[in-house]
Structures are given as C-alpha cells and as structure tokens.
Amino acid sequence: MSTLKKVVWPQIILFGDSITQFAFQANGWGCEISHKLERKCDVVNRGLSGYNTRWAKIVLPRIVPISDAPIVAVTVFFGANDCALEDKNPAQHVHLQEFSENLKDIVRYLVSIGVSSDKIIFITPPPLQEAAWEKECLLKGSALNRLNSVAGQYAQACVQSAGQSGVDVLDLWTLMQKDGQDFSVYLSDGLHLSDKGNQFVAEHLWTLLERRVADLPFILPYWGDVDPKCPESSLLCD
C-alpha cells in the first residue's frame, strides 16, 4: 500500500514581544494576516511578552524552525522592552548598540537555517504615549520607565540594522507620527496596540507580505471541485 503524501502548509512566523504575543487576540494584527492567508499558509505566533532582543536571540534556536514546513516570511518585532530606561527598568533594558547587534544576530541565525534575508521583516517599536503609559506604571507602583524619544532611537537603530542586514523594515514609530497626527489612537495603554493600532500594523505589514505570498496556491481542492462519486480522485492527488 502506497504511503499518502502529507499536505504541508507553508509558514509565516511572527517573532516578537508582547505586541506580537497579543497579535492573535480579537482584532489583532496577526488574526488579520492569518485571515488573508487561510488555506494558503499557517501564521505562527511566537510572541514572548516582556522579552528583549538579548533573550530573544538566545531562545530563537529553540523555537525556529518549528517543523520541516517551508518558511515564507519571519517578522522580527522587538524594541519596546529594549528601550526601557536603564535606571528605571534595568531588567528589560538593552543598550542601543547591543540592540542593533542582537537584531543582526537574529538575521544571521535565520539565514543559517535557510531563511533568506528577503523573507525577513523587521518591525520597529511603535511610538510611546508617555502620559497613558505613566498611569500604567503608577498602577504597578513604579515611575514612568520609557520615553517616546528613546523609543525613537531604538526604532532608528532597527531601521539601520535592517539596511545593514539586507532585510525589509516596517517603521511604525515614524509612520504612526507622520504629519504630526495623534498617534495615541493607535495605543491602548500608551505602549500596546489598540484595535486601530492593530489594523494599522496589519495593513502596512500586508503591503510587505503580499508579494512574498502572491504565488502560494490554495491548499486542497475547493469543495465544489471535489468529485462526489470518487472523492479520492480529487483529494489524494498532488
């Protein structure tokens, strides 16, 4: 008896901190990307709340590759924790130069396992709405531990590292503040994304992903194309 050929779903891997971990919540940006790729590609969430790039590059070989499935794209979305102020939040803070090197190390690892640089997309941290985030900090008994200007430095470093590594980048920090717009509408608590922020990320990320997934076929036949008299002839063919 012949062995059935397994159906393999290609993968897009979302690697990042809490803004990625929460991407599959209701109205999350990961949900929107996954919806667009139904029956074409698995969108796999590997968001790790609270993580910085120092920890991320250590655990990356433990979680990627996930399987033998081909990887269509990987998003690398860090910086919101790395940019925490050293004197207020030393546990999460990563110095700017190390942050840049960590991002490049992540690319080097992904390339070493066969994920070409043209499949990697960096995403910068979004801007920080300091008044709203300070309220969150005070509720937890701490002082304001991030500044938008510092987040901007890490966003710029992310953009520069992307250029040096030959990968695409989605610069949220700049785009969300373009033309002096009120970026607070994109944030739920000053740091994490609101519904509108999730929509913003999904729309802009899709412009970078679309060409990478344009040739992915629809996996398994449309139900109306299945031969009801001999379904095997439709469902077991390559």
Place of tokens 């080097």: 108
Angle between helices 148-165 and 96-112 (to 10 degrees): 40
Tell me, yes or no, if 93 is annotated catalytic: no
> Which of 34, 42, 168, 192 is an active site residue?
192
Strands, sheet with 120-123, edge to edge from the N-terminal-most edge strand? 42-47, 11-16, 71-77, 120-123, 168-170
- Name residue 171's amino acid: D
CB 203 within 8 A of CB 30: no
Residues 6+ apart with CB under 8 A from 220: 7, 39, 235
Instruction: Measure the CA–CA gap between 201 and 208, rounded to whole angstroms.
Output: 11
Tell me, yes or no, if 204 is annotated catalytic: no
Cis check: omega of the bond before 65, within 30 degrees of 0:
yes
Residues 6+ apart with CB under 8 A from 158: 78, 79, 99, 100, 103, 122, 123, 124, 125, 169, 171
> Which of 18, 34, 100, 161 is an active site residue?
18
> Which of 116, 118, 189, 227 is an active site residue?
189
Count of other CB atoms within 10 angstroms of residue 2 = 5
Catalytic machinery residues: 18, 189, 192
